[in-house]
Chain A
């Protein structure tokens, strides 16, 4: 009951959170059922139909190859969210492992892990991602790795901070006295404390990961045409903006923006629930 009351309180304080969760549901539906609900084949080209402005048959218009923009925007959700989600999950797993270890062990482990995340943070992050993809090879997989690498420091920091303050807490000592191994203490006593702030971090990070991945494909890294992806669709539509064909870039760009917006709203809402004092 208390949880529901608190939920209601947070929501009434911040009605935008509800919008965030609603949008999220829409994007999940698009990502899961994309190809089934798209009205046309996202890859089917029809030259006679090229560059049609929005109409009843094509609500978002058609692109320079006559493909239906609406279908492409819907189908792209799976790829965009997929890249962001895999990258964030990867940095969540690696980052919380490293961060927990650093916070728990202290000493040299802490120093080395700290140095690693400082070094990553010393780069402008998008630029580092460009460098990583350029070096490792221009594939979607490497875009995921690069996005994971640049997100890593945030997870390391959160996990380290949460574990370090509780390293000598009473219940940790009790667990140790009753014969639990370090690994068991980390997994059952300390790690659960890391999860709530991590959820906030994940939600805020997802939006950022989507932006980064789309930015990389906008400059030609990662996803290749003719695949439907929001960043690359905006890039393809860019050259038509100056001649007035706005719908090619606007709709995928708006989808991208709404996705990021929704994750940011959700992240803010989650933060208000998890830690009301940190609201800014």
Chain B
């Protein structure tokens, strides 16, 4: 019961950030250089057309009223129409979101799989060569511009070695995309049992996912090392050692379980960086996600599409943070005891 009400409270706490995000996105839409009505009416418009467009966009009202209209549109899932394609921004974003999510999550899991063991190893041997190696890797990883790592990987694995498929999108044109269930090509392919398409999609995803993973490696490894160091110096670890428990048990059961909480908290921040880095990686690998959609929109000055993208990313990030907090509440037995 205690936990449920805590989770409820945490969900309520997510409302102010969501509201703030919506206000800022609204202000960004209204802060367009020049008169948006003139802009949206196009070059050939005369005065009456501009007035008509202004009324259509609700720009003849005061700012607070405009905000209410904006909220109403948002609630109906209306983010406006894209200038370049004429289709609703919402539809286009939703069609491309799975591609971005699949890539981002793959990158996240990949870096967790490497960073957490590395951080644990470094923490068990502080000052040793593996600790220094961890530190060097971590500092180097955070210094790597994602777009540069991506290009470098393409050069080595596509151009020099020829191991990777050409860095153009999610699936080679030889294959047909699997029927959409989750929108994740790899999972959809498994669902229909089409292993050939699964491998093709996976091969296409490896390089961009490694690029993202290298970028996320640093903060996760850093946090794991720090959290493990503080957990290993805890009294309960000393007590466990003194009672003669095996070192593996002490490390993974006693220390790691406690260290997992701060690491999980860091994942929220890491996800924020990954969503940003994702935009660059999508450009490098011509990945058809919402990042490359936004870049296309930026080039075409398609403002509705850019704003929709910013809002979509921000809401996604709020939801991820919420999920992490709920997870923390569920797995931490101390939550609820301290009050």
Residues of A within 8 A of B (CB): 16, 115, 118-119, 122-128, 130-132, 134-137, 207, 211, 214-215, 218-221, 231, 234-235, 237-238, 241-244, 246, 249-250, 253-254, 256-258, 260-261, 264-265, 268, 280
Contact = CB atoms under 8 A, between A and B. Distances in A.
Interface of B: 16-18, 20-21, 23-25, 28-29, 31-33, 135-136, 139-140, 142-148, 151-152, 154-155, 158-159, 166-167, 222-223, 225-226, 271-273, 275-277, 279-280, 283-284, 294-295, 298-299, 303, 306-307, 309-310, 313-314, 317-318
Contacts, number: 159
A268 B31 CA distance: 39
Given A137-B33, A242-B159, A253-B152, A126 B276 contact: yes
B148 A249 contact: yes
Contacts of B159: 241-244, 246
Secondary structure of the A contact surface, majority rule: helix
B33 A241 contact: no
Contacts of A118: 16-17, 20
A135 B225 CA distance: 40
Contacts of B283: 218-219
29 contacts: A16-B135, A118-B16, A118-B20, A119-B17, A122-B318, A123-B313, A123-B314, A124-B271, A125-B272, A126-B277, A127-B279, A130-B279, A130-B294, A134-B306, A207-B143, A211-B143, A215-B146, A215-B147, A218-B145, A234-B151, A235-B147, A241-B151, A242-B166, A246-B159, A253-B151, A257-B140, A258-B143, A264-B143, A280-B225
Given A119-B21, A218-B147, A264-B142, 5 more contacts: A126-B275, A220-B295, A237-B151, A238-B147, A261-B140
A5 B21 CA distance: 49
Nearest to B140: A261
Given A131-B25, A219-B295, A126 B279 contact: yes
A136 B33 contact: yes
Contacts of B146: 215
B139 A124 contact: no
